[in-house]
Chains A and B, each alone.
Chain A
């Protein structure tokens, strides 16, 4: 067991998987000599060579599309897209091509590849660097969407993603890269995709979250505990596949639920979570399920960020109001 930051966990896992399997290769903008704008690939080009850690031209569609071709021909590409905000340029290759490659070739091809990309706000990045577009990619069947919240999970889920025969969009919380620090087991540490994690036990209400919102939920739960409310936190870890069983059983046990995410409300993944709870455990609910999200407006410039994305206060307020409701 070693304590490390999320970025260190990602770096270490990439290095170990490249050592284990020579088909694993990295491509992306600024990942070689510079080691990535967040240093996720620091030193890997020097260690594994320019053939396996490749600085590409500035072209997201070409990075995603060539990753698919590399995978079709037997390589295992782990591509870095510099920010999720710039995956729109590659959306066709990701949504229309990578996601359905297995399906449309009747299994002749698969896309064993990982697209790593940082996302999320509250770090005062320039415009278009902060959006949380994860729900867009849950509408492209055939693609797995993984969003670790801890260094432990970043390492374990990245390893699983690289070994997964299907394509994985691996979303890394910008805010957590260096702030989140926890224990990562040594050796062949894996975390399955599609298995949610109980981040905090709680009897009265369940807060459902993923990625950087998990830490917001944990802090809110801490605050609520002082008021005598026992709030649990469920970290979904992956949105596709969704761990319906753990989601439903955890919420059924408390009877109350609040979903929190950084994305705007309308069409956000909270809506899918709530619909799933209606399907699975409606009669166990003691109150309507609430959601805490950003408003249905574009991500603002820095001066308004704190008012835009959910914070501890807003989440705790909503949880309190859910505690007062009767179904």
Chain B
């Protein structure tokens, strides 16, 4: 299922933990702790990710969005981790595909949309929302996330940080340095490595010779677990356990979610140049949203009509957010200078004035 074991080979044989089968039935002997209303709320967030992707692609084609990276296929990885957190005291450190986790934590959807419209307000994070900014540089968020976790520890808070990255980011030096430091500090952090199989065109097998990314925890002195990243229940269970461990002061965990990037790397990418349609189709059979819908229908919680109504509701929410974003007054020259420093230096103040004058001429 995407893992090509190299070393140690016996670990490559390890099946990722799973709870929910692609057909929506529970794996024998498994039972989720998620109550039905929480599962429906999680489904709603997964739909938010998927439907926003579609709107983003069409807006990008119309020239209203810049380059956009879709989440399709990874919704359970993102949302399963997100719902394990308490936005009041916990933090999220995203890469750039984790919109649903940010929104669940309190980031207004319109801010996320404005970021892709190139509007400076897209970077704004409300005061009481505990998330770091979207991070374009891979793995750069991880040492920062370790620092946030360190601060929470110093402040005697029982808050926990969930830091997302992908398989590609694990090759960066920042990944290693962050994991090692977090291990030494026993910092309250969970590294969620979304292994979606591809870093642009680079397949998992040439990203690392390690049997898994989860196994890397051993080298840093903390546990690593491998889960089916298209299985909402398995991701939620693994991340919740890791969060509980961190909250109790027992330190970090790596949770590797084995998933698949169904779409292109971004709107500028053409994956037909480097991967097969068969591979993608096989992962399509394992769709994370379909299996939750099937489960909820079988349980009598939400039938197809109910799921459609939920999708309509999400679509409406997205349209409202996009409308707010599109209605935002265009930025002015002054926005170039705002927030460079707390106070403009005399030279910067002079530049600010010159730019304002030029904009008026």
Contacts and interface: CB of A to CB of B under 8 A. Distances in A.
B202 A29 contact: yes
Interface string A288-327: 0000000111101111110110000010010000000000
B137 A128 contact: yes
A125 interface: yes
A35 interface: yes
B180 interface: no
Given A89-B173, A296-B347, A300-B120, A126 B66 contact: yes
A140 to B, nearest CB: 19
Interface residues of A, number: 40
Nearest to A50: B206
Nearest to B337: A297
Nearest to B266: A126
B119 A34 contact: no
A296 to B, nearest CB: 6
Interface string B315-353: 000000000000000110101110010000001100110
Interface in A7-65: 29-30, 32-35, 37, 55, 57-62
Given A58-B169, A126-B136, A301-B123, A296 B351 contact: yes
A125 B116 CA distance: 10
Contacts of A58: 138, 168-169, 171-172, 199, 202, 207
A57 B67 CA distance: 23
Contact of A297 (B169, B199, B336): B336
A128 B115 CA distance: 13
B208 interface: yes
A124 B351 contact: no
Contacts of A296: 340, 347-348, 351
B331 A303 contact: yes
Contacts of A89: 137, 172-174
Interface string A55-86: 10111111000000000000000000000011
B200 A37 contact: yes
Contact of B120 (A60, A125, A303): A303
A265 interface: yes
A32 B206 CA distance: 12
B201 A33 contact: yes
B348 A59 contact: no
Contact of B351 (A85, A128, A295, A298): A295
Contacts of A303: 117-120, 330-331
B169 A300 contact: no
Instruction: Count chain B CB atoms within 10 A of each CB in A30, A55, A303 and give the residue with the most.
Output: A303
B359 interface: yes
Interface in B267-293: 268-269, 273-274
Contact of A57 (B137, B171, B333, B348): B171
Contacts of B201: 30, 32-34, 55
Interface of B: 66-67, 115, 117-120, 122-123, 136-138, 168-169, 171-174, 199-202, 206-208, 266, 268-269, 273-274, 330-331, 333, 335-337, 340, 347-348, 351-352, 355, 358-359
Contacts, number: 114
A300 B347 contact: no
A297 B344 CA distance: 10
A307 B118 CA distance: 13
Contacts of B172: 58-60, 89
B282 to A, nearest CB: 20
A97 B330 CA distance: 44
Interface string A216-245: 000000000000000000000000000000
Interface of A: 29-30, 32-35, 37, 55, 57-62, 85-86, 88-89, 124-129, 265-266, 295-298, 300-305, 307-308, 314, 317
Contacts of A29: 199-200, 202
B200 A300 contact: no
A297 B200 contact: no
| 8 shortest interchain CB distances as A-B pairs | A302-B118, A34-B201, A57-B171, A303-B118, A58-B168, A301-B118, A59-B171, A33-B274
Contact of B202 (A55, A298, A302, A314): A55
Contact of A307 (B117, B336, B347): B336
21 contacts: A35-B273, A37-B268, A55-B201, A57-B171, A57-B206, A58-B169, A58-B202, A61-B173, A85-B137, A125-B66, A127-B136, A128-B137, A295-B337, A295-B355, A297-B348, A300-B336, A301-B66, A302-B66, A303-B120, A304-B333, A314-B358
Given A265-B351, A295-B355, A33 B171 contact: no
A307 B355 CA distance: 8
Nearest to A265: B351
Contacts of B171: 57-59, 62
A307 B337 contact: no
B273 A308 contact: no
Given A55-B206, A58-B199, A126 B67 contact: yes
A85 B140 CA distance: 13
Contacts of B359: 307
Contacts of A85: 137
Contact of A304 (B67, B120, B207): B120
A125 B267 CA distance: 11
A85 B335 CA distance: 22
